[in-house]
């Protein structure tokens, strides 16, 4: 499966009691040993340990929408036909918002944490 197909076939399916990190849900392959690690490197969400616990995620796995350099951002900036994939239309973000409810930490709260 190619790097783009994994995003195209992704369907939002939220389990209220099972929050998943973006790399588990979207299968980007930018984790250690993943199929896209050599070409694109490790995803900055995977490396953002300081965000562990935010939106009940490991590292930045449920804060991906606030972290520069994610796989979706690479696609939107480098492949003209895939500009429709933005964080605001990502099913993973919709899942996170739905699962976290009033406890959701958005971009502004995450950036304060990083400062």
Joined tokens for residue 37: 């690690």
Among 54, 45, 108, 111, smallest CA distance to 73 is for 45
How would residue 83 be classed by pLDDT, with cut points 50, 70 and 90? very low
Those residues whose C-beta lies under 8 Å from the C-beta of residue 87, and which sit 6 or more positions away, are: 64, 65, 72, 73, 93
Torsion of Cα atoms, 31 then 110 then 16 then 21, to 10°:
0
Between 88 and 2, the higher pLDDT residue: 88
How would residue 112 be classed by pLDDT, with cut points 50, 70 and 90? low
């Amino acid at each position: 499966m190619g790097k783009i197909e994994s995003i195209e076939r992704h369907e939002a399916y939220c389990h209220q009691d099972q929050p998943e990190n973006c790399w588990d849900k979207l299968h980007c392959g930018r984790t250690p040993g993943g199929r896209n690690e050599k070409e694109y490197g490790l995803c900055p969400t995977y490396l953002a340990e300081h965000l562990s616990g935010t939106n009940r995620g490991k590292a930045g796995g449920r804060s991906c929408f606030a972290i520069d350099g994610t796989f979706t951002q690479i696609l939107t900036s480098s492949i003209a036909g895939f500009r429709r994939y933005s964080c605001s239309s990502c099913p993973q973000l919709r899942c996170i918002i739905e699962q976290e409810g009033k406890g959701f930490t958005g971009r502004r709260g995450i950036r304060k944490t990083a400062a």
